């Protein structure tokens, strides 16, 4: 997976988390997720289709999810509150939205699908075609994990190239 695809998502997550949590964030760990995705806690997934397709998962362990959601809601939420899941969805949505805004300015076109809850403990293994990158953002409220698996839609890209001739 090319860094030019990943960087907008890292920048967007950094901006969204810094603003939302009102504190600095740091990219703590970045690694290829070769063994397949393993959910850490409350996870929201946003799928993309278009010139680039794939999915982004924002994943927080349960305690961090409660802290983050409570901070953003402005009041302490119980661990069972559905608003916690909604908050993680919205975080994922904002990260993806901001990232694809930057990618769109580079000429890529997408459709963003509404966030979904990830319930499976593990995901499919990655392949040569679709690699996944796991990025950990260290925040004052705990670690926020983002798993990015994207690939160029070769047919769409070749259509654009043909049209651009």
Partner 1 sequence: MEQFAAVKRSKDGQPVRYLIVDDSVFARKNLARMIESFGGQVAAEAGDGLTAISEFERTHPDIVLMDITMPQMEGIEAAEKIVQAHPDARVVMVSSVGYQENIVAALQRGARHFVQKPVKPEVLYEVIKYVLGEDGVVATAANTGA
Q: Which positions touch partner 1 (CB under 8 A)? A: 16, 19-20, 69, 72-74, 82-83, 86-87, 89-90, 93-98, 100-101, 104-105, 109, 112-115
Q: How far is the CB of 143 from partner 1 (least distance, A)?
A: 20
* Smallest separation (angstroms) from partner 1 to the CB of 133: 21
Nearer to partner 1, 25 or 94 (CB): 94
CB of 90 to partner 1, least distance (A): 5
Residue 33 vs 60, nearer CB to partner 1 = 60
SS (H, E, C) the chain: CCHHHHHHHHHHHHHHHHHHHCCCCEEEEEEECCCCCECCCEEEEEEEEECEEEEEEEEECHHHHHHHHHHHHCCCCCCCCHHHHHHHHHHHHHHHHHHHHHHHHCCCCEEECCCEECCCCECCCCCCCCCEEEEEEEECCEEEEEEEEEEECHHHHHHHHHHHC
Shortest gap between Cβ of 145 and partner 1 (angstroms)?
A: 19
CB of 84 to partner 1, least distance (A): 9
Of residues 94 and 126, the one with the C-beta less far from partner 1: 94
**Dihedral (CA of 108, 30, 65, 123) sign:** positive
């Amino acid at each position: 997976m090319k860094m030019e695809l990943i960087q907008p998502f890292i920048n967007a997550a950094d901006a969204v988390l810094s603003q939302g949590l009102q504190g600095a964030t740091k990219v703590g760990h970045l690694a290829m997720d070769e063994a397949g995705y393993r959910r850490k806690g409350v996870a929201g997934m946003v799928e993309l289709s278009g010139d680039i397709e794939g999915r982004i998962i924002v994943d927080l362990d349960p305690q961090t999810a409660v802290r983050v959601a409570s901070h953003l809601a402005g009041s302490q939420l119980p661990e069972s509150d559905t608003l916690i899941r909604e908050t993680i969805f919205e975080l994922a949505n904002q990260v993806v939205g901001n990232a694809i805004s930057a990618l769109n300015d580079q000429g890529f076109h997408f459709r963003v699908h509404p966030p979904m809850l990830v319930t499976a403990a593990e995901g499919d293994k990655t392949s040569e075609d679709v690699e996944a990158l796991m990025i950990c953002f260290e925040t004052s409220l705990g670690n926020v994990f983002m798993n990015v698996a994207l690939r160029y839609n070769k047919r769409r890209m070749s259509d654009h190239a043909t049209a651009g001739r």
